[in-house]
Amino acid sequence: MSEVRELHDQAMALAEKASVAKLSGNLEQANALLLQAYKNELEAASLLKDISSPEPTRSILFRSAASLAIDCNELREAERLLAIGLSGDPPSYIAEELRDLLERVNFHRHLDLRGVVLESNELQMSIAGKAISAGIAPSEHFIIRIEDARKLMIRTVERLLGRPYREGGVLSRLIKEYGLFVSVPRMASFAVSLRVSHPKQPLPEFEQEIQYVHSADIIDEIMSCLDSFNNAQEEQLRERIPQEAYYRNFIGLAKNLAPDGENVRQVGFTTFREGKEKRVSLTKPRDQIGLVREWRKELAKAEGGLRSITGVLLYADARKSARQNIQLIDDTGHSHNVIVPEGMMSDIVRPLWEERVQVTGYYQGQSIRLEDIDRAPE
């Protein structure tokens, strides 16, 4: 056991050094250290391969080795290690973690686009989690994300065309020329290709302005913004989306796309550009995501912090006079007036009408200024 401990300690030390190298931007060194960490942990686990080896040490080592294998993109080896770990008698919580890692393996195999060629105006969206099986997913976890992806695409087009934020109303003829098309779902966890269309030629009535945005540019913009969002790079995201309403709208829709942490654990997006693959894998549950601007931090201190209320959204009125307000009936039956800032009503708030929701915001007089809204946990 002393040899196993020594190899494991070496592997963990190398993995820590790899993380430091990655943070320093030295990716080549980080990859080399990570590979050596994986080899050491694999050797340690192999010494306890026999099914009669003591638990939970055996299953913990195989879990750790499989996790490092995934980080090194050794997906087939990770599958094998997870199978060996599960073949013993691991404690229930370790067995659950081994199964979670197996979901990660399937998810990454998904992102490898086996047998799928993406065009410049396509991206692959895939979801994985306990509620997702091979080629099948509950409609409430899939359809709502497709709709939010469509909204994200439309808002990106409007922003790139320099249009003022549109809280409601009918789409212009030009914007209607942009559409989102969905492929037949593929096996593995659950994946589809999304294709964005754009006008074939400039429309006469728009000759004096930007004629159109190419669909590949729309997808690249969405991927760049999602990447900044996923890495909590608020400054970079602000540079890409300086308009407050568009920024607020993007954050709300991106949170809707993110996993719930239970039924859906990962949501991935993949594109190919000039022979290179770009991936964004959303793994942080939406209730753990927070991009908070400095002035909001100061406001939180001044007003006594954020307030969260759970209740039923009474209405989200589309009339101009009521567009900035919603009524919430909390679980005790009290009514709360909630001020909805520009960018949230149409795409984020209104779809939750008559749902049980959790509202988070700051007090502004007798009302609450909305910062976040989501379906309340069951």
pLDDT per position as a tens digit, 136-151: 888 888 899 999 999 9
Q: Model-level pTM?
A: 0.73
207: confidence class by pLDDT, cuts 50, 70, 90: very low
Sign of CA dihedral 180, 182, 188, 190: positive
Domain ranges of the chain: 2-109, 122-288, 294-375
Residue 299, pLDDT > 90, answer: no
Q: How far is CA 43 from the centre of its chain?
A: 34
CA distance 201 to 72: 45
pLDDT at 255: 93
Q: In this predicted structure, which of 44-58, 189-203, 232-246, 347-361 has the lowest mean pLDDT? A: 189-203
* pLDDT tens, position by position, 250-269: 999 999 999 988 888 889 99
Taking alpha carbons only, the member of 218, 227, 221 closest to residue 121 is: 218
Mean pLDDT of 327-338: 90
Domain 2-109 falls under CATH 1.20.58: no
DSSP category for residue 49 = -
Beta strand residue intervals within the chain, DSSP E: 122-128, 180-182, 191-196, 266-273, 276-282, 307-315, 325-330, 335-339, 356-364, 367-375
Question: What pairs with residue 326 in β-bridges?
Answer: 338
The CATH fold of domain 294-375: OB fold (Dihydrolipoamide Acetyltransferase, E2P) (2.40.50)
Give whole-number Cα distances, 101 to 107, 247, 350, in Å: 10, 34, 36
Q: pLDDT class for 111, splitting at 50, 70, 90? A: low
269 has which bridge partners? 125, 280
Using only C-alpha atoms, the chain has a radius of gyration, in whole angstroms, of 24
Q: What is the pLDDT of residue 202?
A: 52
- Directed axis angle between helix 92-111 and helix 75-87, to 10°? 160
Provide the pLDDT for residue 145.
Answer: 92
2-109 shares its CATH topology with 294-375: no
Write the CB contacts of 19 (distance below 8 Å, at least 6 apart in sequence).
30
Please check the confidence at residue 319 and state whether its pLDDT lies above 70. no
* Coil/strand/helix, residue 59: helix
